[in-house]
Each structure stands twice: as C-alpha cells, then as structure tokens.
Structure 1
C-alpha cells in the first residue's frame, strides 16, 4: 500500500515520524543516543508493523467494499431477472387467459352452430310434414268433393271459363287471400267466382271449409254459395252489386257515402248473422276473420257475411265462454284478431266479438283499424267524440252515435270476460239504433243506390 492509498484513511505517517523525532531532547549523551536510536528503530519497526497491519486492514476493507458492490450489482441483476421472469409469467398468463377465452368462444360458437343446425333440421322436418299434411288434406278434399254431393251445384271448368270469358282481366273484381275473384254469368244469373291459386296449398283447407259451412247453412245475411268446381278450386257465389263494405266505407270509385241510418242497419244485420253462426247446431261456428272486406252489400245495401274459410266449429259450451277450444295457431287478420286468442290460442265465440267491435268503430268513423279503439276511447274521454265521426256524414245523431261507439269499445276490450254478450246486450242495442226515425234526405238513398258503384 503506498502513501496515497493510506492518505484516504486520514492518516499521515510522515508527520507521525517527524513528530517523534521532534519530541526527543537535543541534549543527550552518547550512551543515551544509542539507546534513543535503538528505541527509534524499535518504534519505527512497530510503526512499520502497524502500518503494514493498517495497510492490510485497508486492503481487506477495500476488498470487502468491492465484494459488497459486486453483491449489490448481482442482487440488482437478480432482481431484474426476477422482474423479467415475473413479467414473462404475467404475459404467459394473459396469453393463456386469452387463448382460454378464444377456446371458450369457439366452443360456444360450435354449440350455437350445432343448435342452429338442429333447429334448421327441425324446421325442415316440420315444413316437410306440413307440406305432406297439406297435400293429404288437398287430396282428401278433392276426393270428398269428387263424390256426388247434392249440397251444391257442380260446375265444370269449361262452364267457369265461359262465364268469366276465360278469366278476362276486365271481369276481375277483387283479390282474395288465396286467389282472384271474377264476375261472371252462370244459368243467366250474375255470380262471383273465387279461384284458388294452384300454389295456395293452405287455401285448400279454406276452400273445403267454405263449402262445408256455406252448403249447410242458409241465412239472409250470409252470402249464398251457388256451386263449385272442386277439381280446379273454384267457388261460385251470388253476386252482390255494391261489393265489400270496406270499399263503400272508403268510397272506392268515388261511390256515395253510406248514410248513418244505413250504417246502423248494416251493423245490426252483421250482428244478426254472427249470432246465427254462434247458435249453429250441433256446434257453434266462430268466423275468426270478421272485417269490412269480408262483408258484402247488395244493390240495396243489405249486408252479408262472406269468406268463412277460417271458420271453426267449437264445442257447444264455448258459446257462453265457459269452456274453450284450443287452437295450435291463431288465425285472422292483423288489427281485427282477438289479442287474447292470438296470445293463448284459446278460441271462443267472444273472439268474434272483438273483431265485431273494431268493425263497428270503422263503420261510424270511416277510419283504418290501426289504433282505432284507442283513438275513439280518448275522444270519448275528452268530450271530443264528434271529431272522430266520419266527416262525410253531416247529420249524425251524436248521442245515439255515442251510445253505439261505447258499445263498440266494450266489444273491443282486450280481455274477453269484459266483452258484452251478443244475444242479450249487443244485438238488442244495434236493433234499437237501426230502427231510429230516418231524416227525409236519407229516403232517396235506397232508390239511388244503384249508382253507387
């Protein structure tokens, strides 16, 4: 160890040596000088030994310091490595979680694809079964109708083509749910001929149902079935000059408006025919599709219910709504179909009452069915009922019309238990309104009704 290495410890050995020399007295004898010199040598030797020991201690201290620094650096490096390992582990865990989520999503997607494939397979199976059932139904219907049935007149397709001038577009008077309707002449009598489209497999059920219902019943306010050509899906009805009630309410082809008294009469006629269906023996008939387009009117504005293809026979106890008939799927027309029947599939005669209520509201307002019950109810509550009456009629008997509207609103209640009874509540009130004294200007309507087309 040199003096520089020792000096950083704060010790100056030269000063120590000089200090020792200075502290020895100058006056001394020869003998004492030798002793002093010997003592000095001894002291120097001790000092050298001390310095050597000190130097060795300093070297050990420096070595220990270097080792401590190396240990610190090693520890920092180890900490860095541990941090790298920790971050790697966290990254690996994150990747593992991500892969796990991807695998879970893939499994869920595979399960969803499997479920959809099963649903699609089931839908195809159901569609095939339905198509097969419809084909069998059509075959049975044609087989049944091909037999000698004396309930209606059978026409050949040649007679139908001749009557309609080979289905000339000029003779087309309407379009039904399952095919067009033509005007024609058979046996020197004007008739309406409904043609079932070849692709309307579901329509064959209605075709058969119309024959079953209309060939067995007769009522002045039910359209008359004159005959059919079952092999080609043709139904022949009596022809009613003024078409549908819907066309007349909305004044198609600029026809004259229907006076209020005629509207009341038509309402009573519809209710009378509906009660006839509901009181059918041995089983009541529920129409299921009452709406203005299915009400036909003749040249004198006498109304008749048509289109009974959706009608269903239900158990007799259903007539009083005590027992119910469950249908696998609801049928009817949006805005007219009973919401309770649509939701539950449970059919009663009260289902027709809802449709009747919406139709009665249309008869006095001349408005579309969408939201009509709500509109009229709010007008009645706010005392503004006159604003919703059909404005083309200027002489409404407002109080009687209000009574009529309240009855219609009761019919259109969402719950069937809140709807009035047709025989004892609805029909008596409609009959009363239909017998109101007519204003003088309405007397001309019947004689001029031929011009309303």
Structure 2
C-alpha cells in the first residue's frame, strides 16, 4: 500500500522518519472505523464467519487516500457451519496471534473466536491513543496496557495520551476555536479509551459486537467534528 502500515505511522521514530508522518485525531478515528468495518465484514457478511486471529498495526495497511485495509490472513480461520462466534481449534499450531494483542483465552491455543478479534481491536485502539505498544516495558508492573489505561482513565488521562495528540489539543487552545474545540477532542479521546476497554474485557462474551463498535465510533466521530457532517470521508 502507498502509505505503508499503521505501525510505521504510530512508531515512525523506529524507522528514523520522525516528524515525517503524523496522524491527527480525526485520521485515527477514520482508521479505526475502517478496521471495524473490515472486522464486521469478516465476522458477519461472508458465507461463514472468518476470524483474522492476528490484528495489529503492522497488519493494517493504508492506501493512497489513507483508507485502512486489514491484511495478512496467515492465521485466519473459517468457523464451522453453525458456529456464530467461536469454536475449538482443530490444528496443533498452539498459540495464535501476537503477544500483546492476542486475547487471554488464546493462551491455551485451543479457542478461535470473533470475540478474540474484538479484543485485539481494543488493544489496537489503546495503542493508537497512547502511542505505546502493548509490550512496552511500562506495563510490566500493571499487568498490561489495558490495566494501565483503566487505572489512569479517571485520574491521569492526560498522562497516558500520545504526545502528538496532546500537542494537537494544545494547538487547538491557541486557535480561534479555543478551549471548546480542545475539550471536544479530549472527550473524543476519552470515549475511544472507554470503547477500547469494553472491547478488551477478560470474558469473551461480554466484549462489544462489531456492529456496536461501528455505531459508537460514528457517535464519537460526529461529536469530534461538532456534528458538521461525516468528517473527512
């Protein structure tokens, strides 16, 4: 894809491209909407549900218009007829997915689930907003990025948001739009973090369905742009 992967945009410093690639808040929301629609298609709109099993930034590819596409189906599985969300794996592949993004129930290597994709999506949202990989050493003492965000959400949310997004909030305050625009953007970021926590609950059946994720994302996007239409796309 012309614009590479989401990984390169979130962690461009690793490729010595600091300052060349930047995603604003609305672009990040648009990417999350695209990925949610992709998952909804895989889970609900084919002949049989398909579980991607390895959703992460390096598998989210961006085309010339910055539209996101989900790629790399090397671990994908069709669910058997009659299985709407999960089934026992029949292969001996063991652990499926990537550490940090794979849901806790995949640890035994015997569950394939659309709920698992939703968990990975939740972690992806957290990474997009915090700018930190789920395997970051910062999270070792708090048992993962999800716990880190959950603990900080009500007391130190500004301390966990990616610095590029913080700068965007600060720049908003300095424009003619003033604090109201900055507050709207901050509220949208908090809503995204809360959405991510609901997607990454420990119990698979309690996680959000893709249709509900899409609905919530559109609410967040419309609030972000001040209900002035459908945004950049």
Q: TM-score range by the shorter chain?
A: 0.7 to 0.9
Say which of 214, 225, 242 aligns to 2:3. Answer: 242
Say which of 119, 132, 149 aligns to 1:376. Answer: 149
SS class of match (1:355): helix
Q: Distance in 1 between matches of 2:2 and 2:75?
A: 24
Checking the alignment, whether the CA contact within 8 Å between 2:53 and 2:117 is kept in structure 1 is yes
Change (3 A) 1:281 1:297: closer
Change (3 A) 1:281 1:256: closer
Shift of 1:431: 2.2
Question: Greater RCO between the two (CA within 8 Å, min separation 6)?
Answer: 2
Show the counterpart of 2:191.
403
Equivalent residues in 2 for 1:48-87, closer than 5 Å:
none
Equivalent residues in 2 for 1:211-230, closer than 5 Å:
none
Shift of 1:404: 1.0
Checking the alignment, whether the CA contact within 8 Å between 1:314 and 1:325 is kept in structure 2 is no
Shift of 1:344: 5.5
Shift of 1:430: 1.2
Change (3 A) 1:392 1:281: closer
Shift of 1:315: 2.4
Q: Distance in 2 between matches of 1:273 and 1:368?
A: 22
Q: Distance in 2 between matches of 1:318 and 1:387?
A: 42
- In the alignment of these two chains, the number of paired residues is 198
TM-score, scaled to structure 2: 0.78
Show the counterpart of 1:389.
161
Show the counterpart of 1:272.
37
Q: Distance in 2 between matches of 1:304 and 1:411?
A: 20
Show the counterpart of 2:140.
none
Show the counterpart of 2:203.
415
Say which of 419, 424, 431 aligns to 2:218. Answer: 431
* 1:220-257 Cα distance to aligned partner (Å, 9 max, x none): xxxxxxxxxxxxxxxxxxxx221110110112412232
SS class of match (2:97): coil
Q: Distance in 2 between matches of 1:277 and 1:306?
A: 12
* 1:27-58 Cα distance to aligned partner (Å, 9 max, x none): xxxxxxxxxxxxxxxxxxxxxxxxxxxxxxxx
Shift of 1:434: 3.1
Q: Distance in 2 between matches of 1:330 and 1:409?
A: 23
4+ runs deviating over 4 angstroms: none
Checking the alignment, whether the CA contact within 8 Å between 1:288 and 1:351 is kept in structure 2 is yes
Equivalent residues in 2 for 1:117-132, closer than 5 Å:
none
Checking the alignment, whether the CA contact within 8 Å between 2:96 and 2:109 is kept in structure 1 is no
Change (3 A) 1:317 1:351: farther
Q: Distance in 2 between matches of 1:282 and 1:331?
A: 23
Shift of 1:317: 3.9
Shift of 1:285: 0.6
Change (3 A) 1:272 1:311: same
Higher Cα Rg, which structure: 1
Change (3 A) 1:414 1:343: farther
Are 1:349 and 2:110 counterparts? no
Show the counterpart of 2:175.
none
Checking the alignment, whether the CA contact within 8 Å between 2:191 and 2:220 is kept in structure 1 is no
Checking the alignment, whether the CA contact within 8 Å between 1:290 and 1:336 is kept in structure 2 is yes
